[in-house]
Copies of this chain bind each other. A is one copy, B any other.
Amino acid sequence: MRGEALRVDVHTHILPEKLPDLDARYGCEGFVGLEHHCPGKARMMLGGNCFREIEANSWSPERRIEECDRDGVDVQVLSTVPVMFAYWARARHAWDLARLLNDHIAEIVRDHPRRFVGLASLPLQDPDLAIQELERSVQQLGLAGVQIGTHVNGRNLDDADLFPVLSRAAELGAAVFVHPWDMLARERMPKYWLPWLVGMPTETALAIGSVIFGGVLERLPELRIAFAHGGGSFPAILGRMEHGFRVRPDLVAVDNPRPPADYLGQFYLDSLVHDPVVLRQLIDLVTVDRIALGSDYPFPLGESPAGALIDSMADLAPQQRARMLGGTALEFLGLASAAFEES
């Protein structure tokens, strides 16, 4: 450990090095397979096509620790790659897959308890199974919480069926990290990586709007919930949401009586915005106490090294920097820094 503030990266993705043939396991196509076509590299295959080429840092804890040591990252929060959510699949298949992924992450965390924290996946298409796996992940596997998608088969996070899962997470003190996936309006985004550049931030803004307008945050004030990519488009459109709430309460304030800005400070955002002006804006909106370093490691749309943007902002006070680099993540995760210090 370095003699500085603890650096905790709340947004990193990991896969098992070897995945079973899931299409065969479940008798159904559409699951990701891994093809290790040369040493240290693999292709994530989806329906016969290469979805993404990955390297050993996508699966190897040792390689990740090397890169963390190189980059000064003390702790990585591990979650699956969102394409693995499989909310579209039969619930028992997604449940089986979630258990497989969660067991894998839990094993890595057990092997390296000072370097990794884990978030579970849940079969959200079946809230009962999701709650069962949430309880197992937190109570038996010792994971700190869950990563969920911005929607479940088109149903946003205000969906009544999802509420019991979020409510149980709040009861258990499990952190909920919301990550965009299965981006909306793909037919409108055929080129230029637009589903990732425009679709993902829209998903996240839609998720924040849904938990606010749907009254989820109002009903679950204890829920610790964080949104990836600094909330996506949210900072640009909060003013529009707020104004819309005021001028058309008949349309907007139908399920919750309080305006969106009232909830600033009640949810967390990661720092992955690639823009010091936007990070400054987020600090003004939710304070450094609600912003946690997130890098999307090890993927190219992420930030490398993790924390580079926070480090680059010379006008931040040391305690502001420390809070965003690690303190906020620990609070979000419900963990104490002592857990990661040399004994």
Contacts and interface: CB of A to CB of B under 8 A. Distances in A.
A286 interface: no
Contacts of A209: 192, 194, 197-198
A198 B233 contact: yes
Contact of A233 (B233, B243, B247): B233
Pick the most buried of A188, A210, A229, A281: most chain B CB atoms within 10 A of its CB.
A188
A236 interface: yes
A151 interface: yes
Say whether chain A's binding surface is mostly helix, strand, loop, or mixed.
helix
A192 B254 contact: yes
Interface in A241-299: 241-244, 247-248, 251-252, 254-255, 273-275, 277-278, 281, 284-285
A211 to B, nearest CB: 11
Contact of A202 (B202, B244, B248): B202
A201 B301 contact: no
B201 A275 contact: no
Pick the most buried of A234, A241, A273: most chain B CB atoms within 10 A of its CB.
A241
Nearest to A202: B202
A205 B198 contact: yes
A283 to B, nearest CB: 11
Contacts of A277: 281, 284-285
Pick the most buried of A193, A205, A229, A300: most chain B CB atoms within 10 A of its CB.
A193
A251 B198 contact: no
A278 B156 CA distance: 26
A238 B229 CA distance: 12
B206 A252 contact: no
Contacts of A278: 235-236, 239, 281
A187 B186 CA distance: 13
A192 to B, nearest CB: 4
Interface string A125-166: 000000000000000000000000001001010100000000
A154 B187 contact: yes
Contacts of A87: none
Contacts of A284: 277
Interface of A: 151, 154, 156, 158, 184-185, 187-189, 191-194, 196-198, 200-202, 205-206, 209-210, 213-214, 229-244, 247-248, 251-252, 254-255, 273-275, 277-278, 281, 284-285, 300-301
9 contacts: A154-B188, A184-B185, A188-B206, A189-B206, A191-B255, A193-B251, A197-B244, A201-B240, A238-B275
Pairs A-B, 6 closest by C-beta atoms: A239-B275, A239-B274, A236-B236, A233-B233, A184-B185, A192-B213
